[in-house]
Structure 1
Amino acid sequence: MRKTKWTAVMLVSMSLASFSSVSLAKTERHGLLSIAHSGVASYYSDKLHGQRTASGEIYDKNSLTAAHANLPFGTLLRVVNLNNNRSVDLRVNGRPGRHNKRLLDVSKRAAKELGFVQAGLAQVKIEILRWGEA
C-alpha cells in the first residue's frame, strides 16, 4: 500500500515538474504527502460565465473554483498570491485551454479575493488540501 501511494505521488510530481517550484510536504493530520507548487495564475473572462467546464459543471464566475491541467476534479487547493500573501481555497472543476501554459485559471471571484483582477495575472503558490476523485 505504501509503495502504491509513493508511486502515485511521484507520478503527480513528475507531471508537475514543468512548473517553477514543486515541493513535497508531510501533512500532520494524515501523514500523507501533499504537493505544493508555484507558477502564474489568471482568471476566466466573463464571457465563459454559464458555459460548461471540463467536469460538466456550469462555470459560475461567483464561485470559488479553478482549472488545472492535471489535478483530479474535486481536488481542494489553497492558493496564495505571492505578491500580497492573500489566500483562498478553491475546488478544481475545469481544465485550461490546450495552449495555456499557466499553472491555474481561477474564477473571477477567486481573482478578486486574491487581489489580481486589475493585473489579470499573479504569481501564486498552490497546496493540495484534499485530493479529488481520479
Structure 2
Amino acid sequence: MRNAKRIAFLTLSASLASVCSVSYAKTEKHGLLSIEQSGIASYYSDKMHGQRTANGEVYDKNALTAAHPSLPFGSLVRVVNLSNNRSVELRINSRAGHRNRRLLDVSKQAAKELGFVQAGLAKVKLEVLRFGDA
C-alpha cells in the first residue's frame, strides 16, 4: 500500500510540474513528502452554482471548495493569496481546466476570504495538508 501511494504521488508530482512551480519537503510524519505550489487562481462565476462538479457533487458557491488539475478529490489544501497574505483551507472537489493553465479555480466564498473577488485572479501559494482518497 505504501509503495502504491508513493507511485501515485510521483505520478501526480510529474503532472503538476507543467502547471505551476512545485516544491517538495520531507515531513517527519510518516516520512511522506508534502507539496507546495504557486500559480494563478480564479473563481467560479455565479452561473456555476448548482451545477455538478467533476466528483459528482453539486457546486455550492458558499462552500470552501476548489478545482485543481490533478490533486485527488477530497484533498485538503491551504491557499494563501500572495498579495495580501490572507489564507483559507479548501477541499478539492473538481478539476481545473488544463487549457487556462491556472493552478486553482476556487468557490466564490473562498475568493471572498482570500480577497480577490474584485480582481478576479490572484497569485497564490497552495500547500497540501492532506491527500484525498479519490
- TM more than 0.5: yes
Q: What SS does the corresponding residue of 2:99 show, helix, strand or coil?
A: coil
Identify the range of structure 1 (23-32 vs 115-124) with the bigger mean alpha-carbon deviation: 23-32
Partner of 1:53: 53
Aligned to 1:127, what secondary structure does the other structure show? strand
Q: Which moved more, 1:21-30 or 1:31-40?
A: 21-30
Where does 1:77-92 land on structure 2 (aligned, <5 Å)? Answer: 77-92=77-92
Equivalent position of 1:23 in the other structure? 23
2:20–2:103 contact (8 Å) kept in structure 1:
no
By how many angstroms is 1:12 displaced? 1.7
Unaligned runs of at least 5 residues, structure 2: none
Distance 2:7 2:97 in 1: 28
TM-score by length of 1: 0.91
> Is the Cα contact below 8 Å between 1:74 and 1:93 reproduced in 2?
yes
- 2:76·2:132 contact (CA, 8 Å) conserved in 1? yes
- In angstroms, what is the RMSD of aligned CA positions? 1.6
Alignment length, in residue pairs?
134
How far residue 126 of structure 1 moved from its aligned partner, in angstroms, is 0.5
In 1, the alpha carbon distance for the partners of 2:7 and 2:73 equals: 20
CA distance in 2, matches of 1:35, 1:16: 10
Q: Which amino acid aligns with 2:11?
A: L
Check conservation: 2:78, 2:88, Cα contact below 8 A.
Answer: yes
* CA deviation map 1:13-67 (0-9, x unaligned): 2111113421111234433211111100000000000111111111000000000
Ranges in structure 1 where 5+ consecutive residues have no aligned partner? none
Q: Distance in 2 between matches of 1:60 and 1:46?
A: 9
Deviates more, 1:94-103 or 1:78-87: 94-103
Identity of aligned residues (%): 72
Query: Judging changes above 3 Å, is the alpha-carbon distance between structure 1 residues 2 and 50 closer, same or farther for their aligned structure 2 residues?
Result: closer
TM-score by length of 2: 0.91
Name 1:41's counterpart in structure 2.
Answer: 41
